[in-house]
Structure 1
């Protein structure tokens, strides 16, 4: 069965992300076409990229990066739940992505974003980053406004169009994750042989 990690990409105090990520997890868990697991970056504290060699050139010398790599490698695709800070993705999310390379390659990724403008500028940046790593970013996404979709800017109140967008995002993400499986198998075989 396809395994999808739902990455909660903000670690700041009083973040709205857990509500959004749990909403994604609850909706995803009602499906029967994949297994889903929530990955909170607070549970994986990584220093600013501290690797002496770029991740594309081999395994890390640091235990924290090896543990993060093992966590991510187990999934076929991801939903990234991201806030938008000053027109971009949270630094902690970009840092977590930058710690790895092969663990992201040939996997699908979808986005659920939130912010004053729905988090769309953060997603635009993340699409470039993920594409550079060889990920297939699905076209559907969920964009949630802090101004209209949270009561008092703190309580998430999803609307029908958010549910529709999430279902389309998950449909496409699961289909693409399955379609990319042969490429991941080729990569895994090459790694075992080397």
Structure 2
């Protein structure tokens, strides 16, 4: 298989059957304008030839880093399959229509939480956050919860995708795809 997206779809479908929790979890690595790295787990919410999508608060640290330095790396690790996939590439925001459509699928409490949270900022106490959540709940009681203007998504446009399969005695298999124009060049990497 020489199409990295078809291979991703195959591995992802297998992971959805074998991983007990959050088969769509991926580590997202970013760096600020000075090159200081940061990594955290986020959830994949869309993927295809146009990229890998996740959503967040644009006022938090990860969004700030992506806006300063619009490049990222992703890592999917599926321990049950002894596999991982690394993705690297530039990042850009998804359009408002896509962000609105995804936001509408979230649970009401998740929607309200997006309004109540000042993501990544210091929080004096859990009670402060829960009070803000209650205020937002009352504000939108009985109606739909619109997407906050500070909340949306990012899409990683893959320029490099590596598929790593564990093998006995650390003789792992590493297939590496590099974007070339409209296509992909495939090669192997030493384990």
The answer to which structure has the higher helix fraction is: 1
Same fold? TM cut 0.5: no
Larger Rg: 2
Larger relative strand fraction: 2
TM-score, L = length of structure 2: 0.26
